[in-house]
């Protein structure tokens, strides 16, 4: 066990049986990094029911431009998340959490068990992403290239819970 000095309320690293390095950061979740893929994610430490609040959050830095660490809250308005460990909630085309920007809380979209990675659908908050990528979530619902809600057909985007900002952009016909 090696003590961390640069992470608030992060008491330790541990190595589990699957060779994942984990950083305990809160009583409900921990960041894990797989040394083989070098990808980090936020994993649940407890059980959550559908629609249960997983965590509250606040807006950190407000910027005009998106980055890979921001959540879009309006045109030209992108926030970092506080607590900052929420940046480790990765993408999935079959998400189990949703960032409710209006209520400033992370909500469970389905039942979550200890050990489940917390994942959200990036286009649920992002109109036009700063860094599009090819999805590798492995879900049968996978949409392939993730670049923002603007680029998804209406029938596909409407399968997801969306932020008020994205719903308004879709209602305004802002895809052009």
**Residue 173 — pLDDT band, cuts 50, 70, 90?**
confident
> Is the confidence at residue 2, as pLDDT, over 50?
no
Chain centroid to CA 21: how far?
20
Whether 117 is covered by a domain: the verdict is yes
* β-strands 71-74, 53-56 pairing: unpaired
Which structural domain, as residue segments, surrounds residue 145? 13-170
Whether 175 is covered by a domain: the verdict is no
Whether 3 is covered by a domain: the verdict is no
Among the listed residues 30, 162, 45, the one whose alpha carbon sits nearest the alpha carbon of residue 107:
162
DSSP the chain: ----SSSTT---EEE-TTS-EEEE-SSSEEEEE-TTT--EEEEESS-B-TT-EEEE-EEEEEESS--TT-EEEETTEEEEEESGGGGG-EE-SS-SEEEETTTTEEEESS-B-TTPBPEE-GGGT-SS-SS-EE-----TT--SEE--GGGS-HHHHTTS---HHHHHHHHTTTT-
Nearest-angstrom CA–CA distance, 23 and 20:
10
CATH of the domain at 62: 2.170.270.10
The confidence score (pLDDT) of residue 171 equals 92
Whether 152 is covered by a domain: the verdict is yes
Q: Please write the tens of the pLDDT for every residue from 38-90.
A: 789 999 999 999 999 999 999 999 999 999 899 999 999 999 999 999 999 99
The three-state DSSP-derived secondary structure of 126-155 is CCCCCCCEECCCCCCCCCCEECCHHHCCHH
Whether 176 is covered by a domain: the verdict is no
Q: How many domains does the chain have?
A: 1
Q: Please write the tens of the pLDDT for every residue from 13-36.
A: 444 445 455 555 678 999 998 665
The confidence score (pLDDT) of residue 7 equals 36
Q: Please write the tens of the pLDDT for every residue from 117-156.
A: 999 999 999 999 999 999 988 899 999 999 999 999 999 9
Whether 5 is covered by a domain: the verdict is no
Whether 21 is covered by a domain: the verdict is yes
Whether 125 is covered by a domain: the verdict is yes
Beta-bridge partner residues of 77: 74
């Amino acid at each position: 066990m090696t003590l961390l000095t640069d992470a608030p309320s992060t008491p330790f690293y541990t190595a589990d049986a699957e060779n994942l390095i984990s950083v305990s950061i809160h009583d409900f979740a921990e960041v894990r990094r797989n040394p083989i893929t070098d990808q980090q994610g936020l994993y649940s430490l407890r059980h959550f029911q559908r629609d249960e609040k997983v965590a509250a959050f606040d807006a950190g830095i407000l910027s005009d431009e998106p980055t890979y660490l921001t959540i879009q809250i309006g045109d030209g308005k992108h926030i970092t998340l506080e607590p900052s460990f929420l940046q480790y909630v990765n993408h999935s085309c079959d998400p189990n959490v949703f960032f409710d920007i209006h209520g400033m809380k992370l909500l469970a979209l389905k039942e979550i068990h200890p050990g489940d990675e917390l994942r959200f659908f990036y286009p649920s908050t992002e109109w036009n992403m700063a860094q599009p990528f090819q999805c590798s979530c492995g879900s049968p619902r996978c949409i392939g290239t993730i670049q923002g809600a603007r680029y998804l057909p209406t029938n596909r985007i409407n399968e997801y819970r969306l932020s008020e900002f994205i719903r308004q952009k879709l209602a305004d016909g802002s895809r052009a």
